Chain A
Amino acid sequence: KQEVTQIPAALSVPEGENLVLNCSFTDSAIYNLQWFRQDPGKGLTSLLLIQSSQREQTSGRLNASLDKSSGRSTLYIAASQPGDSATYLCAVPPGGTSYGKLTFGQGTILTVHP
Chain B
Amino acid sequence: GAVVSQHPSRVICKSGTSVKIECRSLDFQATTMFWYRQFPKKSLMLMATSNEGSKATYEQGVEKDKFLINHASLTLSTLTVTSAHPEDSSFYICSASLTGGGYEQYFGPGTRLTVT
Q: Which residues of A contact B (CB under 8 A)?
A: 31-32, 34, 36, 41-46, 49, 51, 89, 91, 93, 97-107
Contact = CB atoms under 8 A, between A and B. Distances in A.
Contacts of B53: none
B102 A46 contact: no
23 contacts: A31-B102, A32-B103, A34-B105, A41-B91, A42-B109, A44-B95, A44-B107, A49-B103, A51-B102, A93-B102, A98-B102, A99-B100, A100-B34, A100-B100, A100-B103, A100-B105, A101-B49, A102-B105, A103-B46, A104-B43, A104-B44, A104-B45, A106-B43
* Interface range on chain B (Cβ under 8 Å from partner): 20 to 34
A36 B102 contact: no
Given A41-B112, A97-B101, A100-B100, A46 B46 contact: no
B93 A107 contact: no
Nearest to B45: A104
A89 B105 CA distance: 13
Interface in B22-55: 32, 34, 42-46, 49
A92 to B, nearest CB: 11
A99 B103 contact: no
A43 B110 contact: yes
Contacts of B107: 36, 43-46
B104 A89 contact: no
B34 A101 contact: yes
A97 B95 CA distance: 18
B110 A42 contact: yes
A105 B42 CA distance: 9
Contacts of B1: 46
A101 B100 contact: no
A100 B110 contact: no
Given A44-B95, A46-B107, 8 more contacts: A41-B112, A43-B93, A44-B44, A46-B106, A49-B104, A100-B32, A101-B49, A102-B34
